[in-house]
Structure 1
């Protein structure tokens, strides 16, 4: 078990950095969101947000997303927040190995046996190989080597390409050099949103012996190339059996009782093959044991889980009390597993 405590200096450095780049307009905008939803006066919300950031390691968006305005101090203390998550990443994800997760090409090379799809690298002189790959698969995903939250991800169709040399050249120019076969998802996921591969975010901690599942969120797309919120996506938390805890929500104030396109009731969703997902995460978490705290993105395919990517900066997904009725978060599970 890792040593207790996250240390004072990382927290002080984080607070100093946040203070140096605080955006007053952004804080006020978030405070107005809280006012509109919970009826709290903006000045009181601003003071509470600043106090929470300074003393409780609560990000401003965390305060909004997790409805802190309606929670008691004891209830707030059960929520994992982005500042705390960032400190865990810095402590438990060894810097020399982070590039294996941050660089998508290095990630594919390292975890090739778990991707369960073909992929290739676009480089000088392989336009013919690219044409063969895209033609065989019909539709492909192109990624830049570095990107997050769905940035640098595009979807291309062979039928739309009339000049393969130019297509090859344009991909190189845009640095969209990692080409992947489309993932086929399980019919239960396709029933919710067939136009997007809907990923499951499993936040896990590997302590050197055991892989601890800390939180599981199911993301749903809106037919775009990615299910990230920047593409209109949203999520719901899953319980220990893989069943949705509530309707879906995002960080933009949208709540989805039903999927807007398919009409499927989100709270009825059950992730198929959930136990296989848990076992799969235990396996992939051991490949680079120096990166202990990871947000794994997987897709359940017809025959089992498929690895999409791993995020050494795991991020945070949590219950939203105003939607779920659940007024506690996952932080106790993090504490039990990691010991901070």
Structure 2
């Protein structure tokens, strides 16, 4: 019940209000008629109609059926793909980092975790003191929740040269760590080509993987997310205002147009003027190989959306998301037209009792 009200509140605050105030929308009676028709025919919540711009003038609502319903996929993923007993391995950034590091994969450079009043180092998992920790830190760093930091919530950026009292800053987090454990990570120095798009935030790649029952790993889609308006986060949401651009999985280059959360188009970044069309993403082949290897580390969590940064010397994994949103389709295109997605789902449904009931949602 809490989840339902949280989702509705988010939908209302970020999308319904915007839709009603959009000067380019259809008339409200028509919107209500189309919305109800979509819900009846698709047996889905109204989110897809709103998320994918069905309310905009000239929008063809028949195109909406090609988008995978997010709520339906969430239920399917939770029931059949991602075992809830193992989600902590992905969602807990400390556990994720340990598992990936043990597999030889590059991750964020963690300084320590602060949990239950204790400061623990990643190298040997031994405790240290706040004084010893302060003496170790010599660079800018980020403090983030070990879990539940969606859309940049709970992040604090600390500039080492301007921090007058690290002891006080860290003491606050130690005191609160019984309810909100955190990680300290050194700030990522991103590749200069990614900084040219937007230098203030670490602009990350969202790339989703699916681990099939036969051990193959499919990549369904990928976008590059950039910050804007002076924000230090790149999150693609109504609140953060970021821009997402499709990455061609074959060429590793950006699409012609980027989109904000409300589907407004941008041929170039509004802050830097850098053109998106055919802009090459450094190390993209390495990114694909990295997330495929990472996906195999979690055989019980088979559907993961990865956030990957491009550092000066190559890609590194920032986090994994076992409940990532399929709104990535707004940039990559509808997943019902994605042959990799529909092929993987068709095979998956054959192994599931009563899998046929999902065919109309996931298979052409």
TM over 0.5: yes
Specify the alignment match of 1:336 in structure 2. 343
Is 1:249 aligned to 2:259, yes or no?
yes
Distance 1:308 1:239, change over 3 A: same
Distance 1:319 1:145, change over 3 A: closer
Residue 318 of structure 1 deviates from its aligned partner by 3.9
Report if the CA contact (8 A) 1:31-1:46 is conserved. Answer: no
Query: Equivalent residue of 1:105, what SS?
Result: helix
In structure 2, C-alpha distance between the alignment counterparts of 1:31 and 1:195, rounded to whole Å: 29
Query: Which 4+ runs in 1 deviate beyond 4 A?
Result: 17-28
Query: Equivalent residue of 2:326, what SS?
Result: coil
Query: Equivalent residue of 1:155, what SS?
Result: strand
Given candidates 36, 43, 53, the residue that maps to 1:67 is: 53
Indicate the structure whose relative CO is greater, using CA pairs within 8 Å and at least 6 residues apart: 1
Residue 140 of structure 1 deviates from its aligned partner by 0.4
Report if the CA contact (8 A) 2:222-2:246 is conserved. Answer: yes
Specify the alignment match of 2:99 in structure 1. 110
Structure 2: tracts of 5 or more residues without a match: 120-127, 347-361
Alignment of 1:89-100 (within 5 A): 89-90=77-78, 91-100=80-89
In structure 2, C-alpha distance between the alignment counterparts of 1:19 and 1:162, rounded to whole Å: 41
- Greater mean deviation of Cα atoms: 302-311 or 110-119: 110-119
Alignment of 1:158-169 (within 5 A): 158-169=160-171
Provide Cα deviations, 1:159-179, integer angstroms capped at 9, x if missing partner. Answer: 233333322211224546200
Alignment of 1:8-23 (within 5 A): none
Is 1:275 aligned to 2:263, yes or no?
no
In structure 2, C-alpha distance between the alignment counterparts of 1:236 and 1:304, rounded to whole Å: 20
Alignment of 1:209-288 (within 5 A): 209-222=215-228, 223-228=230-235, 229=237, 230-240=239-249, 241-252=251-262, 254-288=264-298
Report if the CA contact (8 A) 1:92-1:291 is conserved. Answer: yes
Query: Equivalent residue of 1:50, what SS?
Result: helix
In structure 2, C-alpha distance between the alignment counterparts of 1:215 and 1:80, rounded to whole Å: 13
Residue 186 of structure 1 deviates from its aligned partner by 1.9
Alignment of 1:152-231 (within 5 A): 152-174=154-176, 175=180, 177-208=182-213, 209-222=215-228, 223-228=230-235, 229=237, 230-231=239-240
Given candidates 106, 112, 121, the residue that maps to 2:113 is: 121
Specify the alignment match of 2:137 in structure 1. 134
Query: Equivalent residue of 2:74, what SS?
Result: helix
Specify the alignment match of 1:4 in structure 2. none
Query: Equivalent residue of 2:296, what SS?
Result: coil
Query: Equivalent residue of 2:200, what SS?
Result: coil
For normalisation by structure 2, the TM-score amounts to 0.77
In structure 2, C-alpha distance between the alignment counterparts of 1:164 and 1:299, rounded to whole Å: 27
In structure 1, C-alpha distance between the alignment counterparts of 2:245 and 2:6, rounded to whole Å: 33
For normalisation by structure 1, the TM-score amounts to 0.81
- Greater mean deviation of Cα atoms: 294-303 or 189-198: 294-303
Report if the CA contact (8 A) 2:113-2:181 is conserved. Answer: no
Residue 141 of structure 1 deviates from its aligned partner by 1.0
Report if the CA contact (8 A) 1:89-1:314 is conserved. Answer: no
Report if the CA contact (8 A) 1:152-1:176 is conserved. Answer: no
Distance 1:88 1:187, change over 3 A: farther
Query: Equivalent residue of 1:37, what SS?
Result: coil
Specify the alignment match of 2:359 in structure 1. none
Query: Equivalent residue of 1:310, what SS?
Result: strand
In structure 2, C-alpha distance between the alignment counterparts of 1:154 and 1:104, rounded to whole Å: 16
In structure 2, C-alpha distance between the alignment counterparts of 1:151 and 1:280, rounded to whole Å: 26
Residue 253 of structure 1 deviates from its aligned partner by 5.3
Provide Cα deviations, 1:311-337, integer angstroms capped at 9, x if missing partner. Answer: 0002124455xxx8x9x5123432211
Is 1:56 aligned to 2:42, yes or no?
yes
Provide Cα deviations, 1:29-81, integer angstroms capped at 9, x if missing partner. Answer: 365256x324x2212212322332344255534323322341252x3232233
